[in-house]
Amino acid sequence: MTEDYQFSTRIVRDTVRVDPETGAANVPIYLSSTFHQKDFDHFGKYDYTRSGNPTRDALENAIADLEGGERGFAFASGMAAISTAFLLLSSGDHAIVPKNVYGGTFRILTQVLGRLGIEHTFVDTTDLSQIEQAIRPNTKVIYVETPSNPTLKVTDIHAVSELTKAYRCYTFVDNTFMTPIFQRPLELGADLVLHSATKFISGHSDVVAGLAVAGNHELADKLYFLQNALGAVLGVQDSWLLLRGMKTLDVRIRKSAESALKVAAFLSKQPEVRRVYYPGLPQHSGFSLQHIQASSAGAILSFELENEAAARTFVNHVSLPIFAVSLGAVESILSYPPKMSHAELSEAERIKAGIGSGLLRLSVGLEDAEDLIRDFTRGLAAIKEKKHETVTSVN
Ligand SMILES: *Cc1c(COP(=O)(O)O)cnc(C)c1O
């Protein structure tokens, strides 16, 4: 219906729904678990909020339109959305999942779904031949997360979708890092898109939420059944907060991505930085694919310092980013994957996944890029000073 508009216009059209009754510019927060039925025999659109709520509906319609899907679903967290999606599978079914998948997704697969008889194989999804080799007669899903966390590896969504079509299984894509502003997996052939809306879509580090968008009617019906049956729905007030965050998603993520490119380019020239992982830099292995399937490299980057001591010094000497888990907020967030998102991996597993002891991940916020660069210059200078101190004290 709104297809002719540019994305920035669509976002506003999707999130500003004038209330037909009062003219209120915002969707009311319908804090009601139940709805009065006027007709003894025929019930209205809404009966009970687990099954449907007008505020949550507005959010679900907005994300469905932005991802270009059939129907959207809001969940209590990204993990609630992902877990519910995996319960489309039954005992005896098999999923192919990236080796470097989000830690919570790894946990649900290995410690919960396995117990229920849902099997999985971890592969490097950037290598299509590894995916194809892992396909079995009972494979139901190929799961993609691109760019990946924290080394920003890029998987070809269209190529994976062609494979899943040939083998009659589904492609699920975790689109948290890109959002529909930069990457629309359904348009590339995927069947289901998942989000931790806790991140960019909310954008203010104030809501934990998940979203899913089904690309076709059949999958939408199945997912609706599961959303209602399992009941991990997003609360009404949080649905409203998410709609509020989405209104500025376009400007927020574009500004952050612009700054991320500047920060990545700066870091890649610093002698204290061993390596920068950002698909917006031409030397990144996923650079060309990223720019074919997405319109930006996004606002997340990682960089490798010499060792843990250097990472600690850097974190202790910068003042702009907060040091925390999570990403995708107005404030820049610096995190240390070996002790945060990837703490469950052994050291050997970590190194194999390319997560060295000096790796830091940065989610670039809305601070001025030059201010961030000045702040990081101080952090890097502190590393040099510390090293100098150590050398002179040894002498
Ligand atoms: C945070 C995150 C999740 C999990 O979402 P929650 O909202 O924390 O449950 C899933 N995938 C990715 C890529 C994430 O960053």
Q: What is the pLDDT of residue 346?
A: 82
Give the atom of ligand 1 at the shortest distance from the alpha carbon of 197.
7
Q: CA of 280: how far to CAs of 51, 125, 372, in Å?
A: 42, 20, 18
List, in order of start, the domains of the chain with CATH numbers: 2-247 (3.40.640.10), 250-394 (3.90.1150.10)
Lowest average pLDDT, out of 19-33, 125-139, 327-341, 342-356, goes to 342-356
Q: CA of 374: how far to CAs of 59, 169, 262, in Å?
A: 39, 49, 12
Q: What are 42-55's pLDDT values in tens digits? A: 999 999 999 999 99
Write the DSSP symbol of residue 233: B
Q: What is the pLDDT of residue 2?
A: 46
**Which residues, including other chains, have CB under 8 Å from residue 36's CB and lie 6 or more apart?**
none
Q: What are 149-173's pLDDT values in tens digits? A: 999 999 999 999 999 999 999 999 9
Q: CA of 356: how far to CAs of 68, 79, 262, 296, 305, in Å?
A: 38, 26, 23, 26, 9
> From the CB of 208, is ligand 1 less than 6 Å away?
yes
Q: Which two tokens stand for residue 185?
A: 């997996």
Instruction: Say if strands 71-75 and 210-214 run parallel, antiparallel, or are unpaired.
Output: antiparallel
Q: Which two tokens stand for residue 59?
A: 């959010």
Give the mean pLDDT of 361-368.
98
What type of residue sits at position 63? Answer: I
199 is catalytic: yes
CA dist., res. 319 & res. 341, Å (int): 22
> From the CB of 179, is ligand 1 less than 6 Å away?
no
Q: Which two tokens stand for residue 291?
A: 């720019």
Site to substitute for ligand 1 among 102, 241, 326, most atoms within 8 A of C-beta:
102
d(CA 347, ligand 1 centre) in Å: 23
Q: What are 77-135's pLDDT values in tens digits? A: 999 999 999 999 999 999 999 998 999 999 999 999 999 999 999 999 999 999 999 99
Q: What are 372-384's pLDDT values in tens digits? A: 999 999 999 999 9
d(CA 196, ligand 1 centre) in Å: 4
Q: Which two tokens stand for residue 248?
A: 């500025």
Confidence of residue 394 (pLDDT cuts 50, 70, 90): low
> From the CB of 79, is ligand 1 less than 6 Å away?
yes
d(CA 256, ligand 1 centre) in Å: 19
d(CA 103, ligand 1 centre) in Å: 8
Give the atom of ligand 1 at the shortest distance from the alpha carbon of 326.
1
Closest C-alpha among 46, 306, 285, 296 to residue 180: 296
Q: CA of 224: how far to CAs of 37, 58, 173, 228, 243, in Å?
A: 22, 15, 18, 6, 20
> From the CB of 338, is ligand 1 less than 6 Å away?
no
pTM above 0.85, yes or no: yes
> From the CB of 149, is ligand 1 less than 6 Å away?
yes
Length in residues, the chain:
395
102 is catalytic: yes
> From the CB of 183, is ligand 1 less than 6 Å away?
no
Q: Is 33 exposed, middle or buried (0-12, 13-18, 19+ CB in 10 A)?
A: exposed
